[in-house]
Amino acid sequence: MSRGVVIGGLVVIFVAGVLCGVAGISFYHTYEREQRKERGAAAQHDRIMTRLTQELALTAEQRADIEPIVTGAHVAILELRFAHQAEIEAILMHGMAALKTKLSSEQQTRLEAMYARLQRRWTKSRDYLESMKKRLTWLEPSYPPSDSELLMHTHLGMDALDKVNEQAH
């Protein structure tokens, strides 16, 4: 066998491997996007926690400490979004009505199916929001925090508390 044939064969194998890799990554990303849409807000919360854990190298204790904070922020964002949900739906309905005038009847049917999928995702997000709100009220103490606890939760309060402790010793 000549050297050119061997090199040509290796190039073909390399190119085939690259094409398989590109196709595999494309299928994987398409699958991930579909799964994200289906899992909704709960999956988003999980992705946030996973990313924070990996990129910040959180310990199990740190993860347990920040999880309620992340959940609270996520719930607040969802509440804000759903507070404006009626406005969003009105804008979408107006846009869809304008779109339908430019679409065939088959395309209109597909557009309505797309909107139905969107409404299902919103419903899942609303259900998730309600369950997280219940969970947060269960996790939060039912008594009001004391003045010292409030001080401890502010940076200035921590400095002041440290000075008091230093003076006591």
DSSP string, 43-102: HHHHHHHHHHHHHHT--HHHHHHHHHHHHHHHHHHHHHHHHTHHHHHHHHHHHHHHHHTT
Q: Which residue would you say has higher pLDDT here, 166 or 6?
A: 6
> Model confidence over 98-131: pLDDT tens digits?
999 998 999 999 999 999 988 888 888 888 888 8
Ranked by mean pLDDT, the top range of 76-85, 93-102, 159-168 is 93-102
Task: Parse the chain into domains and list their residue ranges.
Answer: 68-142
Render the burial of 90-100: b for 16+ CB within 10 Å, e for the rest: eeeeeeeeeee
pTM as predicted = 0.49
Q: In angstroms, how far is CA 127 from the centroid of its own chain? A: 15
> Model confidence over 44-87: pLDDT tens digits?
778 888 888 999 898 989 988 888 888 888 888 888 888 888 89
Assess contact for 74 and 132: CB atoms under 8 A. yes
pLDDT at position 38 is: 60
Of the pLDDT bands very low, low, confident and very high (cuts 50, 70, 90), residue 140 is low
Q: Which residue would you say has higher pLDDT here, 151 or 134?
A: 134
